[in-house]
């Protein structure tokens, strides 16, 4: 089975980048529109006076901030991801077999040999980060190394290198910026709102201008509520779009791994092992490996099968980060049948 470029994946990556780039502007100007309509109307109602001014954000400044945010994510995303996973870079002396397999597979794909890192956790999984093939880092967990045999491990590593070959790793790094940004904006608005209501307890003892205080309270409350509402809506929307790419890219990487190793059943066996093992592990271990990276892993850690008491925020959103493991295994078996028929 020869390597083939996935046109559909490429189109999805371009659309995702365009969407992620446009959405911050939509977020800010939607919020401004609401503040200049609903917000000012409530302010007039609270003060019984007309308010002719408007909230405004300079487009040039906004563009600089958005591009700066993407640049920071692009530059430091790899480092943040490794820290979140508790992973450290390892050399060939420490993990000779792992390095040898990664080097061999990368050479077959005509890729630079990526950096290898290991996360000290019993959760069996792997992911890849990096802004380009030259800066890619393949991360595996100790649990993965303990659970898989040599063929299964090679299949998983081939899957990760297929992500590098497809260049979807860099897109995923950038795509994660927007949901992360809107989440922190929402949290900031929440704490402002919480602080306002906490401070309302002292209003009765205030000797200042009651009208001025009322204006300040209305401005803060309205701004915070609208920011929370808009942030939540855009966070969900951006996360859903992000996940539509993350799900499809797993199928593409599975096919890429098969074209590289010629062993679809080895990858199917690895996925089944990982899937079965996840159900045996404590929720605490799984939460420690979440860290906002769940869409990057080779196997999902946020599937509903873990029970209703799981605390990963992302499990409440649809669609899931990964396609169903059973569907991936079925497709791999179909690929095996195609290879056998040739």
pTM given for the model: 0.77
Instruction: Tally the domains of the chain.
Output: 1
Nearest C-alpha neighbor of 127 from the set 92, 176, 94, 69: 176
Residues 292/216, Cβ–Cβ less than 8 Å = no
Predicted confidence (pLDDT) per residue in 50-107, tens digit: 777 788 889 999 899 888 877 887 788 788 888 888 899 999 999 999 999 999 999 9
Q: Work out the angle between the directed axes of helices 7-34 and 59-85 (0-180°, nearest 10).
A: 120
In a domain, 132, yes or no: yes
- Could you give the CA distance from residue 273 to residue 61 in angstroms, rounded to a whole number? 50
334 or 300, greater pLDDT: 334
Mean pLDDT of 36-49: 76
In a domain, 260, yes or no: yes
Residues 82/140, Cβ–Cβ less than 8 Å = no
In a domain, 275, yes or no: yes
In a domain, 2, yes or no: no
Backbone angles phi, psi at 69, to 5 degrees: -65, -45
Predicted confidence (pLDDT) per residue in 145-190, tens digit: 999 999 999 999 999 999 999 999 888 877 766 666 666 776 777 7
- Could you give the CA distance from residue 186 to residue 183 in angstroms, rounded to a whole number? 5
Nearest C-alpha neighbor of 73 from the set 161, 197, 2, 172: 172
| pLDDT given at position 307 | 42
137-141 β-sheet, strand order: 87-89, 115-119, 137-141, 126-129
| pLDDT given at position 26 | 83
- Could you give the CA distance from residue 40 to residue 56 in angstroms, rounded to a whole number? 13
In a domain, 74, yes or no: yes
* Mean pLDDT score across all residues of the chain: 80
H/E segment holding residue 115: strand 115-119
For the annotated catalytic residues, the residue numbers are 160
Share of the chain above pLDDT 90, in %: 36
In a domain, 136, yes or no: yes
Backbone angles phi, psi at 315, to 5 degrees: -70, -15
Residues 125/297, Cβ–Cβ less than 8 Å = yes
**Positive or negative CA dihedral for 34, 35, 36, 42?**
positive
Range of the domain at 277: 7-341
Give 332's pLDDT tier (boundaries 50, 70, 90): very high
Give 199's pLDDT tier (boundaries 50, 70, 90): low
Residue 139 structure tokens? 């991360």
Give 219's pLDDT tier (boundaries 50, 70, 90): low
């Amino acid at each position: 089975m020869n390597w083939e470029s996935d046109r559909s994946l490429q189109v999805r990556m371009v659309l995702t980048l365009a969407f992620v780039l446009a959405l911050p502007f939509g977020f800010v100007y939607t919020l401004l529109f609401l503040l200049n309509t609903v917000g000012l109307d409530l302010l007039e109602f609270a003060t019984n006076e007309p308010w002719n001014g408007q909230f405004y954000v300079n487009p040039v400044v906004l563009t600089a901030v958005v591009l700066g945010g993407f640049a920071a994510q692009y530059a430091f995303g790899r480092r943040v991801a490794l820290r979140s996973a508790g992973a450290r870079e390892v050399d060939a002396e420490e993990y000779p077999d792992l390095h040898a397999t990664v080097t061999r597979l990368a050479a077959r794909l005509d890729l630079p040999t990526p950096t290898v890192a290991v996360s000290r956790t019993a959760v069996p999984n792997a992911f890849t980060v990096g802004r380009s093939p030259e800066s890619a880092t393949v991360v595996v967990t100790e649990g993965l190394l303990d659970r898989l045999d040599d063929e299964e491990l090679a299949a998983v590593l081939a899957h990760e290198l297929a992500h590098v070959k497809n260049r979807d790793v860099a897109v995923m790094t950038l795509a994660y910026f927007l949901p992360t940004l809107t989440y922190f904006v929402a949290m900031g608005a929440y704490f402002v709102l919480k602080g306002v209501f906490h401070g309302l307890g002292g209003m009765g003892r205030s000797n200042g201008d009651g009208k001025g205080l009322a204006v300040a309270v209305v401005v803060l409350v309205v701004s915070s509520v609208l920011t929370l509402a808009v942030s939540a809506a855009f966070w969900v929307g951006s996360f859903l779009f992000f996940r539509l790419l993350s799900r499809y890219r797993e199928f593409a990487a599975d096919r890429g791994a098969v074209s590289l190793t010629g062993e679809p059943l080895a990858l199917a066996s690895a996925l089944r092992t990982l899937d079965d093992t996840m159900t045996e592990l404590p929720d605490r271990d799984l939460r420690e490996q979440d860290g906002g990276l769940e869409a990057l892993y080779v196997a999902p850690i946020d599937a509903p099968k873990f029970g209703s008491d799981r605390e990963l925020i992302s499990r409440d959103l649809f669609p899931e980060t990964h396609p169903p493991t059973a569907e991936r295994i079925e497709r791999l078996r179909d690929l095996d049948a195609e290879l056998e028929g040739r």
